[in-house]
Structure 1
Amino acid sequence: METFDVIVVGAGAAGVNAALVLGRARRKVLLLDGGPPRNAPAGEAHGLLTRDGIRPLDLKARALADLAPYPVTVRAGVAREARRLPEGFAVRHDGGWALGRRLLLASGVRDVLPPVAGLRERWGHLVHHCPYCDGWEHRGRPLGVLGVGDAGHHLALNMRAWSEWVTLFTDGPDGLTGVQRRDLARLGVGVVTAPLARLTGRDRLCLHLRSRETRLLHALFLSPEQTPGSTLPASLDCALNARGRVIVDERGETSVPGIFAAGDLVGAPQYVVNAAASGMTAAVGINTALIHEEVEALGAAFHKHRSSV
């Protein structure tokens, strides 16, 4: 079984940046790359210093290339299983088993898109998640928001920063309070409760309602439900919050000693820079823990040697 100082599960911004920081700290790292990042369908990534507008897959390729000088092994494949052992954590991946003194979970989350015909095919192109990432490209144009209740109200209000023409589509009962409806009315945000039938269009988006009415938009924004990108946190008994995110302390360590987590998996704001920062925080926490462990081991060995003299 291959042995490492740290095994990092997930090669998004959090995982790759953590591997970079740990490699530069001369730690032997295994980075398990489970595939394209969650933002791969988007044409561009934004809000990132010196890389505004870069393709997400190009950003990942550059990030992985940055690891080349350091003792970081990158393996394509998913972490299938993990076990806690006295000497660390054994992880089964597509290439076999590996042992790490510490384990960092950075497997992110998966978007659960609404079952509206034509929506998934336009995800990342005409249908978006984050106005800070994609709002500028659709500024000043007719925009739609898909959502209900607090989430729909919040996102619709935010979208007014990018356009004066915003409509909230609730695909059924809106779940809004009277105060929320007044908020939207004050800003001129219309509310359409008619159920959606399908989405069509290539350059502009056409919403087909079941009432046979259609609405032309420049783009549609929504906040989809999400699920953890891996079952490992639950299988390892890491404490989760009500939203299913892994609970960590200020160093990025979970409720299970020796297991750290970073990025979207812990509920960090879902921007590339935040995920990368979360990965660095966890990497520093891991390296600090390993340093203290090594100091204690040297102290124990020294006292054992003196007692035997």
Structure 2
Amino acid sequence: MTSTSPAATSATPAPAARPRRHRPAAGPIPDFDVVIIGAGSAGLSAALVLGRCLRRVLVCDGGAPRNAPSPAVQGFFTRDGTKPAQLLKLGLHELERYATVEVRTARVTAIVRQGKQFELTAEGETGRSRTFTARKILLATGVEDELPPLDGMRELWGTGVLHCPYCHGWEVRDQPLAVYGQGKTATGLALLVSRWSRDVVVCTDGPGNLTTNARRRLRQQGIQVREEPITRLEAGPKDSVRVVFETGEPLARRAVFLHAHQHQRTNLAELAGCRLTSKGAVWVDKNTQTSQPGIYAAGDTTPGTQQAILAAAQGAQAAVHLNEQLTREECPK
């Protein structure tokens, strides 16, 4: 047993040095570590993860999300059936506890690379523009749907006209359904929708451009095809739809599904020089980084299946990659 001198026992030990939090390498200190452009499921999810990493984050909220007309967000774990606006409200509320995260109503209009940082210009609610700097950018701006120029299509979008059977098929199960479109797209969607209903009709609005094999596959599943030109869609009782043709009897359906063409909601990715896929999505690598170093993307902006829960997951994934890349830059070998 060793003895200890009185002097040793009475002395107060020196406090351990507190490690200094990571800081960027030498150079001008930016306003934010990450600027997230877009406040939908992907953007808010990313902000949550980055806030928990003590990152200085700005979320630029550019307006209503793509699913705003939808009556509910379906298939979202713990939030099945929640209204889109309520889901985002809950997400914004959760961010309030993270002091390093700021949310602004602002539309980013320009991104300029300045060395290892970026300068962004954003227009606020009053129309006044201001600039700020960031080490990294996450694009979560989403897409807009290009609906066919058919009377009633836009008015019924999200209620009687639906885009995703995974999102809305259960709500209209076992009821008469229609699929709008031509060629392989309509064939594939009709076969998918037949999972939810045995009464499915493909409405091609003119020549369907269906191969002999496609017609055979549809026929095997009891799916009819109507190729008469369509005059309009009318609202029926309880959110149902009435398809009115130029000739022939109208078709009463509970809902009409279609795969609408899409385009990026903003041209920021293109202006920043980010690579786009042949379908117009923003290309990303396995770490969710675009072809431009320092610019990341998540959610419907990128290729792949589009669902709110998947966008949220991609936002979280992007946040992890962003934090780890920032950490590598702050802790060089």
TM-score (norm 2): 0.87
Aligned partner (choices 53, 67, 90) of residue 119 of structure 2: 90
**2:235 aligns to what?**
201
Q: How does 1:269-288 map to 2 (within 5 A)?
A: 269-288=305-324
Q: How does 1:14-29 map to 2 (within 5 A)?
A: 14-29=42-57
**1:305 aligns to what?**
none
**2:264 aligns to what?**
228
* Maintained 8 Å contact 1:2/1:97: no
* Maintained 8 Å contact 2:36/2:59: yes
**1:302 aligns to what?**
none
* Maintained 8 Å contact 1:268/1:278: no
**1:145 aligns to what?**
179
**1:306 aligns to what?**
none
Unmatched 5+ stretches in structure 2: 1-28, 125-129
CA–CA separation in structure 2 for the residues paired with 1:65 and 1:165: 43
1:187 aligns with 2:200: no
**1:303 aligns to what?**
none
CA RMSD of aligned residues (A): 1.3
Deviation readout 1:104-142 (Å, 9 max, x if unpaired): 111011000111101111111111001111111111111
* Maintained 8 Å contact 2:30/2:135: no
**1:58 aligns to what?**
86
Q: How does 1:46-195 map to 2 (within 5 A)?
A: 46-70=74-98, 71-95=100-124, 96-195=130-229
CA deviation after TM superposition for structure 1 residue 22, in Å: 0.6
Aligned length: 297
CA–CA separation in structure 2 for the residues paired with 1:50 and 1:284: 22
CA–CA separation in structure 2 for the residues paired with 1:140 and 1:55: 24
* Maintained 8 Å contact 1:268/1:274: no
CA–CA separation in structure 1 for the residues paired with 2:185 and 2:116: 45
**2:18 aligns to what?**
none
CA deviation after TM superposition for structure 1 residue 87, in Å: 4.1
* Maintained 8 Å contact 2:30/2:117: no
**1:252 aligns to what?**
288
Do the aligned partners of residues 219 and 119 (structure 1) sit closer, same or farther apart at CA in structure 2, a change above 3 Å counting?
A: same
* Maintained 8 Å contact 2:33/2:135: yes
* Maintained 8 Å contact 1:268/1:275: no
Read off the aligned partner of 1:226 and give its amino acid letter: Q
**2:252 aligns to what?**
216
User: Greater Rg, structure 1 or structure 2?
Assistant: 2
* Maintained 8 Å contact 1:269/1:275: no
Unmatched 5+ stretches in structure 1: 300-309
TM-score (norm 1): 0.94
1:291 aligns with 2:327: yes
Deviation readout 1:188-235 (Å, 9 max, x if unpaired): 100111111111124221111111531111110101000011101111
CA deviation after TM superposition for structure 1 residue 173, in Å: 1.2
CA deviation after TM superposition for structure 1 residue 98, in Å: 1.5
Do the aligned partners of residues 266 and 44 (structure 1) sit closer, same or farther apart at CA in structure 2, a change above 3 Å counting?
A: same
CA–CA separation in structure 2 for the residues paired with 1:170 and 1:252: 37
Deviation readout 1:35-77 (Å, 9 max, x if unpaired): 1111110101111111110001100110111101111110112
Deviates more, 1:210-219 or 1:286-295: 210-219
* Maintained 8 Å contact 1:128/1:220: yes
Read off the aligned partner of 1:146 and give its amino acid letter: Y
Runs (4+) of structure 1 moved beyond 2 Å?
none
Read off the aligned partner of 2:249 and give its amino acid letter: E
**1:307 aligns to what?**
none
Deviation readout 1:170-203 (Å, 9 max, x if unpaired): 1111111111110000011001111111111242
Aligned identity (percent) is 42
CA–CA separation in structure 2 for the residues paired with 1:119 and 1:278: 30
